[in-house]
């Protein structure tokens, strides 16, 4: 059992840390009100710094241009998907956003069937059904009346589009991994992410707005934790778990993040309502829990099968 703990503990620590990252993102965008352009600029620039740091220490790896281009393209798509997610996160409840956003592993499986000639067994289709039904259900708002409660929000389709884009990015990342080691693959991905997410905003007035916003120490601490320290530690624990544990089970545990996010938002709603200014309504809490559980179950089935 102690051997299993070597990968189980970091595999659980990673989604818990990313839950804190998601909550922090919601606070920065909705409560502390950093404008999206400046937020994209900060997030992408942090990724560029990480990439340059990795390449400065490890040096350039001799690899086919196609592999480098695939890794870069993965990051570019990732940044595009993140822009959609952050846009929705600023406007919607985090407990509604995360389950839909975490559906990308199922889209990866479907894309692998189409582009890599892989097959999907019955349990794979069950996973697809669970994720799709859960993602749709979490968009239901029982605080509305009549049929309006069951109307799918436009932001739902933006999240699905973002998840599909991320899925394509994951396929390209796999292509890059054929010739690149983990760290260089991460570095080229980060450069691609900077290109799509941050480079368009590296112009006036967004850098000045970012610096002005960060003059408040509390703002700087919040964004540093949610976009620098948190993701770095989350990725570190994930790599530690993958290094010593079965990747399918590690991925399954990582896919539990929506459950942690739902629990965190519930606790914040009870004890710190103003932290992310998200309402916790008793009428739709059970629906959120059931829908989130369906998404997590589907992701775990895809990861383990």
Closest CA to 226 of 24, 40, 78, 70: 24
pLDDT at residue number 208:
96
pLDDT at residue number 100:
84
Q: CA–CA separation, 225 vs 232, rounded Å?
A: 10
Query: Residue 198: phi, psi to the nearest 5?
Result: -110, -40
Within 13 Å, how many C-alpha atoms sit on residue 269's CB side? 15
pLDDT at residue number 201:
97
**pTM of the full predicted structure?**
0.84
Q: CA–CA separation, 298 vs 303, rounded Å?
A: 9
Low-confidence ranges of the chain (pLDDT < 50): 1
| Residues in the chain, total | 305
Task: List pLDDT tens digits, range 44-85.
Answer: 999 999 999 999 999 888 889 999 999 999 999 999 999 999
pLDDT at residue number 1:
46
pLDDT at residue number 280:
62
Which residues, other chains included, contact 61 with Cβ-Cβ below 8 Å and sequence gap of 6+? 180, 181, 184
pLDDT at residue number 161:
92
pLDDT at residue number 279:
65
Residue 152 DSSP class: P
Query: Residue 214: phi, psi to the nearest 5?
Result: -80, -5
pLDDT at residue number 254:
78
pLDDT at residue number 143:
59
């Amino acid at each position: 059992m102690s051997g299993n703990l070597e990968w189980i503990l970091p595999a659980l620590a990673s989604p818990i840390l990313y839950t804190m990252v998601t909550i922090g993102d919601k606070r920065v965008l909705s409560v502390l009100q950093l404008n999206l352009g400046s937020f994209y600029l900060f997030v992408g620039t942090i990724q560029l710094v990480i990439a340059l740091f990795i390449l400065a220490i490890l040096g350039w790896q001799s690899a086919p241009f196609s592999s480098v281009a695939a890794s870069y393209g993965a990051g570019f798509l990732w940044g595009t998907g993140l822009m959609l997610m952050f846009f929705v996160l600023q406007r919607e409840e985090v407990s509604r956003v995360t389950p839909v956003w975490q559906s990308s592993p199922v889209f990866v499986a479907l894309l692998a069937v189409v582009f890599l000639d892989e097959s999907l067994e019955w349990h794979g289709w069950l996973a697809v059904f669970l994720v799709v039904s859960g993602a749709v259900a979490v968009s239901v708002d029982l605080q509305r009346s009549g049929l309006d409660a069951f109307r799918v929000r436009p932001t739902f389709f933006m999240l699905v589009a973002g998840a599909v884009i991320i899925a394509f990015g994951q396929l390209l990342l796999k292509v890059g991994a054929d010739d690149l080691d983990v760290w260089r693959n991460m570095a080229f991905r980060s450069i691609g992410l900077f290109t799509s997410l941050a480079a368009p905003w590296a112009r006036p007035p967004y850098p000045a707005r970012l610096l002005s916003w960060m003059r408040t120490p509390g703002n700087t601490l919040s964004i540093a934790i949610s976009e620098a320290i948190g993701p770095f530690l989350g990725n570190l624990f994930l790599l530690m778990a993958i290094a010593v544990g079965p990747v399918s089970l590690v991925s399954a545990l990582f896919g539990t993040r929506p459950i942690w996010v739902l629990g965190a938002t519930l606790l914040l709603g009870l004890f710190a309502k103003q932290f992310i200014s998200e309402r916790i309504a008793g009428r739709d809490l059970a629906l959120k829990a059931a829908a989130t559980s369906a998404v997590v179950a589907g992701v775990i089935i895809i990861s383990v099968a």
